[in-house]
Amino acid sequence: MCTGDCAKCLGGTLIPLALFGFLANILLFFPGGKVIDNNDYLSEEVWFFGGILGSGVLMIFPALVFLGLKNNDCCGCCGNESCGKRFAMFTSTIFAVIGFLGAGYSFVISAISINRGPKCLMDNSTWGYPFHNGDYLNDEALWSKCQQPADVVPWNLTLFSILLVIGGIQMLLCAIQVVNGLLGTLCGDCQCCGCCGGDGPV
């Protein structure tokens, strides 16, 4: 597969992942699927916008760049062979690093939130974090420590787990594009072979 085709494939995969991450983060503002009266009762990690910014906005731009690589002019800028496809592939590498950092941000926030557990109304009628070091993950009986909102534990656990998986996949795809982009920068795209009157890739 040519480097341009590979980048286009990666970009097409990142777009729906970014949308799913954005949606998952939005749903976290409605713990248990319900609207709460006070935003202070939301888990702190929700406000870090890991899915909206990290896996969402910061991923859309690299994805669009990857998708546009297939349409770049092999012969360079206005016939100048020193730029064009190679420069575009180099630029995609930079955007891939940005996407990797964004996905990594979402991944870390999700992991912290899963380990910490959700903020909820506890037995002592105060709002806080009743779980410690992910103890609730292996003992569902501890979930009863959260009185309100209803079903907040499985809700947060499911959505942050989705964000964790999405972030991991996005990091992998961006890492692949870093390698792909470097190969395209050094070797050119296979479909550019012989263009502009040259015998090799440009």
| pLDDT (tens digit per residue) in 81-112 | 545 678 888 999 999 999 999 999 999 999 99
Separation in Å, CA 179 to CA 64, 176, 202: 18, 5, 18
Whether 186 has a pLDDT exceeding 90, the answer reads: no
Q: What are phi and psi of 107, to 5 degrees?
A: -60, -45
165, 168, 172, 177: CA torsion to nearest 10: 100
Q: Are 181 and 96 in contact (CB under 8 A)?
A: yes
pLDDT at 189: 59
Name 77's bridge partners: 80
pTM: 0.85
